[in-house]
Amino acid sequence: MFVARSIAADHKDLIHDVSYDFHGRRMATCSSDQSVKVWDKSDNGEWHCTASWKTHSGSVWRVTWAHPEFGQVLASCSFDRTAAVWEEIVGESNDKQRGLSHWIKRTTLVDSRTSVTDVKFAPKHMGLVLATCSADGVVRIYEAPDVMNLSQWSLQHEISCKLSCSCISWNPSSSRAHPPMIAVGSDDNNVTYSGKVQIYEYNENTRKYAKAETLMTVTDPVHDIAFAPNLGRSFHVLAIATKDVRIFKLIPLRRENATSSGPTKFEVQVMAQFDSHNSQVWRVSWNITSTLLASSGDDGCVRLWKANYMDNWKCTGILRGDGSPVNGSSGQGTALSAVGSAGAQSQNSVVGAASAGRYFFPHLDPPRAGSRLALLLPPPSLIEPTCETDHTHAHQPPQIRRRYTPALPTQPAEHD
Amino acid sequence: MEEVDVEPTTTLIPGVGLKQKHVGFEWGPGDILVYETNFKLQGAGSGGPGFPFVHVVRKDEDIYSPILRKLFNESHHIFVGLQNIKDDMPSKNKKPQFVSVSKNYRSVIRACMEELQQVAVSTQDTSLVAQYSNQVSILLAIELIWNLCEVLFIDAAPAGILLLHLLDWVRLHKADVDEKVREVLQSESPTHHHAYWEVVISFVLQGRMDEARQILMKQANLQPASRPIYQLMDSLLQKMPIFNPGSTQTLTEFDVKWRHWHEECDRYLQDNSFASNRHLETICKILVGDEDTMLEHKELLGTWYHFLVSRLLFFHPTVKPSELHYYAQSSMDMFLDSRSAPEPLDSILLAAFEFDLHQVIKDCSIALNNWWFVAHLTDLLDHCKLLQSHNLHFGSNLREFLVLEYASGLFSHHSLWQLAVDYFDHCPEFGRVYLELQIERVPLETERKALKVLRICEQRQMNEQVRSICKIMAKRALSNNRLGSALSWSIRAKDAAFATLISERFLQDYCTRGSFSDLDLIDNLGPAMLLSDRLTFLGKYREFHRLYGEMRFTEAAKLLLSLMTAKIAPRSFWMTLLTDALPLLEQKEVIFSVDQTHELMFCLEELTSDNSETKPERPAQDEDIESTKLELLRLALARNLAMAIVKEGTVEA
């Protein structure tokens, strides 16, 4: 992996969240500077800020996009105890020429009496539905009954979780077999011995959300939670950021009788548990097909996790700031930064080379330190003599490929 | 649960981690965004300085190389062709097909490699050169491994032919001899060239006896004194038996013949026939399979696997596939000095010689940076039914896992995603779900691209994705005020509510402007009109205008009336319809019949009685206009009724 581009976000305080839109052509950033910025990607891959405005009167924790079926709609939540919904309107033509867009506030959701810690749109098959959670322990579910009029939102449900809430995640499954479901995580430090993840399920008969499950094994504060895309499976997969990264499998149990109106019961299994961050984990998130999970922790690293075809999970890559302290085992990274600019590109690609396949199979001998290690193939007619490579390569990261020097057209002249 | 094996690679993000210790991130389609942050902050802002950068971290750069794109495109055709090879064909007939598929893949790799090499040579930019060189060496490795897998697994040649294939394999990948021989022959005095004997020995080591003899002849001609021993060597080289699979000769017959020749060589060596010329003696030692002599020419062999093949050529040319692994392991041990550990490529080739397919695929996945190779090779091996026969219970899963990985990577590219669709189509277990998840994320920058994505979804009956794409496009068109486009997309999406809303907008526009936009679309709605009541009304109302414009007044009048009596028109629109009736009533000839006029009057009364109840607080001025309009209408209706009665009475009489 390599840094392809750096975007000057120009927020005047900490960035708390960055959110891609559904197609990955736009992104929104939010910050403690109380503003939200919207960025558009041009055809050449550059990002341009097309809107920046003050959204709240406190730190903006999260920003999220609604599905494009509902138009260009954003929701934000803040320390100022509110959440807000924003809609882009097509402005005057000269605005468009200047590359600017207009966002107007459609509603402010003021029901919380404490900081609103997370905001998430429900899966689109449920309509335009928005959930918030707050430090006072309440999950609120709002709905815009008329998708053409986003200024009217009604508070449909208030779920009292009895614990300060930090994060929510909707189950994305659109299968008829799965009623709407939302998982709530709590970072409550005051209550020690209770499950910090609760799962609520919508009941058609009572038209209410009822608690279906509490993950009793998760007793440490939870900071983030993420359902994986369902992939047509009967069970659900939930990733949790707590003192480590955990992946749970929730298998719905067959109801005893079909008419039973109680919530679904689940068999809960731990699929994986990683403590490589060695510390508090703050964020977890799945990629589109849930083949990769990313997590970020107190160690200042983003770690990427992947399961092979036999469901063995591995850390396949680490992203880390070059300013953060080196932690023992990954000395490889520092060697990289020492490489001069001419070699930087190839070094980067070497890292990329290594990352793709690493996680694939369970048993593998660790690479031995030393020069011959990862040199792959001498393209016979192409490589330079390798006799002196031993010491020159000794301080470099392991290389997968041998390098070759292309024959310069001028060289063979002496034999003529 | 968590197995520690390879230390995962670390990618450093410049400028991050100086002020705050946390790194936030966000998944994107082909990349991941990272930024410096502090997750612990729960109160007001830090008030600190800004945190200026969001970094785009990309996974795979190969996909963006224009030359490798050709590899992806061409191999896609081969892949699709391979999937279409019929299952019911007897497996005997399939083998040549699979071998030819394998060769096609390899020739694509070769073509790509050559192009990269040319570009690398002509580029000035050193970092680009390094990048291209890297890619070339990777492709070389891939081709080398693939070729060996083709020989051992796909072609699966028996003893005798096996060695011939291995020789071809070594010759193809140790082509520097040809360069060197050209250099020698082009020099002023080839026989005195410092590389003269290297060339001869290289030819011998590769079993290219005719070429070796040609070169040797040059030397013999110059040295009449030692001509006899040159001739002796020439005849030994000429006589060396080579197995010919086309002939009727059996392997045993060949073996007898070969042994006979071998003994003859040995005899000449023992009686010191070549003692006067150390070069010829060396060659003779190689011919009898002397390993130490071969190892003295390590730099000519280059690799342990060349040594392996040369060793087999002069020691055991009828080697069986099952014996290979023993020779491979020992050749590697002899060739590599004890202090250097084997490299990934060595282990991969060794695993292949041991016929451990699983290990080959595993090691390749780890050592190589793209899924292209493992996905295509595994797919081919799976088609050859090789994964099952090697007792991998997860055979098809492994193939699908790798193909899905490869195709997912393609999907993040702005044009290669179209290739990925076919790969997903050939993954029976998860292909469909992956395609559904990926394709709805393809950016719909233009209508043309949207139609392209839509067609792919429609062909696969992906109804939910079809509906969603149309809905997104409709919504976007509406917010850009392109009503016609919005309407046609919402009709495609079969979204009744949205069609109603847009029809409403059309009617509003008509009321304010007095004309319709997007006439083509509305005129040609056809059965799509039935999607929503309001859309039906819009279509019918436009039809009324058309009839009126074509002076087909009777039909127009009938349609207008039916719009109200059949309750197709919304009540709010009745006044407009009645006003539209005015000019028809004012015509010289009678258009509305007595019954029709009665119905019109009834509609008007129904409307006014409603109005008086529901809208009491109207501005006085509006009220005036409204009442004037009513008066006019009533007058026109009454006059028309009178005329109609007269006319109808006259006709009857």
Per-residue model confidence (pLDDT) at position A258: 55
For residue A279, the chain B residue with the least C-alpha distance is B22
Average pLDDT over residues B119-140: 86
Asked if A322 reaches chain B (Cβ–Cβ under 8 Å), the answer is: yes
The mean pLDDT of B226-250, rounded to a whole number, is 88
* Reported confidence tier of residue B221, pLDDT bands at 50, 70, 90: confident
Rounded average pLDDT over B534-560: 90
Average pLDDT, chain A: 78
What is the interface pTM, i.e. ipTM, of the complex? 0.82
Query: How confident is the prediction for chain B on average, in pLDDT?
Result: 86
> Using one digit for the tens of pLDDT, what is the confidence trace for B329-375?
999 999 987 667 788 889 999 999 999 888 898 888 877 767 899 99
pLDDT given for residue B50 in this prediction: 60
Phi-psi region of B370 (alpha: psi -120 to 50; beta: other; left: phi over 0): beta
Which is it for strands B9-13 and A313-321: parallel, antiparallel or unpaired?
parallel
B499 pLDDT exceeds 50? yes
- pLDDT classification of B559: cutoffs 50, 70, 90: very high
Residue A102 lies in a domain: yes
Q: Does A32 touch chain B (CB under 8 A)?
A: yes
At residue A363, the pLDDT reads 32
What pLDDT, on a 0 to 100 scale, did the predictor assign at position B358? Answer: 85
Flag whether residue A145 sits within 8 Å of chain B, measured between CB atoms: no
B420-464 tens-digit pLDDT: 999 999 999 899 999 999 999 999 999 999 999 999 999 999 999
Q: For residues A127-135, give the mean pLDDT.
A: 96
Q: What is the pLDDT of residue A397?
A: 40
- What mean pLDDT comes out for the span B127-141? 86
Interface contacts (A, B; CB < 8 Å): 423
Is the model's pLDDT at B26 over the cut of 90? yes
Q: Would the CB atoms of B131 and A345 count as touching at under 8 Å?
A: yes
Are A402 and B138 in contact by the 8 Å Cβ rule? The answer is no
As for how many domains chain A has, the answer is 1
**Chain B residues within an 8 Å CB radius of A242:** none
Contact status of A76 with chain B (Cβ, < 8 Å): no
pLDDT for res B51: 60
In a domain, A1, yes or no: no
Chain B residue closest to A305 (CA)? Answer: B8
Dist CA B574 CA A364 (whole Å):
79
Q: Residue A108 sits in a domain of what CATH number?
A: 2.130.10.10
- Ramachandran region, residue A130 (left: φ > 0; alpha: ψ -120 to 50; beta: rest): beta
Q: What is the pLDDT of residues A257-273, one digit of tens each?
A: 555 667 888 999 999 99
Q: Which residue is associated with the tokens 């691209």?
A: B449
Convert the pLDDT of each residue in B456-489 to its tens digit. 999 999 999 999 999 999 999 998 888 999 999 9
Taking an 8 Å cut-off on Cβ atoms, the answer to whether B55 and A370 are in contact is no
Taking the C-alpha atoms of residue B16 and residue B52, their distance in angstroms, rounded to an integer, is 10
Dump the DSSP string for B609-633: HHHHHH-----HHHHHHHHHHHHHH
- The residue of B5, B10, B198 whose CB has the most chain A CBs within 10 angstroms, and thus the best one to mutate to test that interface, is B10
**Nearest-CA neighbor of B254 among B325, B319, B166, B330?**
B319
Mean local confidence (pLDDT), A275-301: 91
How many C-beta atoms surround the C-beta of residue A95 within 10 A? 14
- Residue contact B7–A366, C-beta within 8 A: yes
Across the interface, do A20 and B61 touch by the CB < 8 Å criterion? no
* Distance in Å, alpha carbon of B521 to nearest chain A alpha carbon: 23
Chain A: nearest CA to B346, how far in angstroms?
8
Q: With an 8 Å Cβ cutoff, are A6 and B186 in contact?
A: no
pLDDT computed for residue A356 by the predictor: 34
Q: Does residue B136 contact residue B113 with C-beta atoms inside 8 Å?
A: yes
Structure tokens at B121: 């040579």
Query: What would the mean pLDDT of A171-184 be, rounded to a whole number?
Result: 92
Position B415 scores a pLDDT of: 84
Q: Which residues of A touch B38 (CB under 8 A)?
A: 14
More confident residue, B341 or A278: A278
Please report the pLDDT score of residue A357 as a whole number: 36
Of B5, B479, B480, the CB nearest to A364: B5
Span A214-233, average pLDDT: 93
For residue B141, give the chain A residue with the closest CA: A377
Verify whether the Cβ–Cβ distance A354 to B173 is below 8 Å. Answer: no
Residue B589 pLDDT grade (very low, low, confident, very high; cuts 50, 70, 90): confident
Confidence of residue A399 (pLDDT cuts 50, 70, 90): very low
Residue B391 has pLDDT above 90, yes or no: no
CB contact under 8 A, B22 and A282: yes
Interchain CB distance below 8 Å, A313 and B1: yes
Residue B289 or B61, more confident = B289
- Percent of chain A, pLDDT > 90? 55
pLDDT at B121 over 50: yes
Lowest mean pLDDT of A95-104, A399-408, B124-133, B543-552, name the range. A399-408
Tokens 């996974």 correspond to what residue? B59
Of A24-28, B91-95, B141-145, B224-228, minimum mean pLDDT range? B91-95
Q: What is the pLDDT of residue B385?
A: 83
Q: Provide the domain limits for residue A42.
A: 15-322+332-351
Higher pLDDT, B70 or B20: B70
Query: If we measure between CA atoms, which residue out of A326, A318, A331 comes closest to residue A397?
Result: A331
- pLDDT at B214 > cutoff 80: yes
Backbone angles phi and psi of B96, in degrees to 5: -60, -35
Give the whole-angstrom CA distance, residue B603 versus residue B68.
Answer: 72
Q: Note which residues in 245-284 of chain A have CB less than 8 A from chain B.
A: 272-276, 282-283
- The pLDDT value recorded for residue B46 is 58
- Determine which of A76-90, A185-199, A325-339, B480-494 has the lowest per-residue pLDDT on average: A325-339
Give the tokens for residue A235.
């069970």
Q: Which chain A positions have a beta carbon within 8 Å of B303's beta carbon?
A: 378
Which residues touch A386 (CB under 8 Å, ≥6 apart)?
A375, A378, A402
Asked if A53 is an interface residue toward chain B (Cβ–Cβ < 8 A), one would say no
Query: What is the rounded average pLDDT of the residues B93-118?
Result: 92
The average pLDDT across B161-180 equals: 90
What average pLDDT score do residues B117-145 get? Answer: 87
Nearest to A352 among B126, B369, B501 (CB): B369
pLDDT, residue A5, reads 84
Position A255 scores a pLDDT of 67
Report if residue A186 sits inside a domain: yes
Q: According to the model, what pLDDT value does residue A113 have?
A: 94
pLDDT for the residue B6: 60
Q: Which of B116, B117, B134 to mutate to probe the A interface, most A CBs <10 Å?
A: B134
pLDDT, mean of residues B484-501:
90
8 Å CB contact of B51 and A294: no
Q: Which residues in B lie closer than 8 A to residue A31 (C-beta atoms)? A: 45
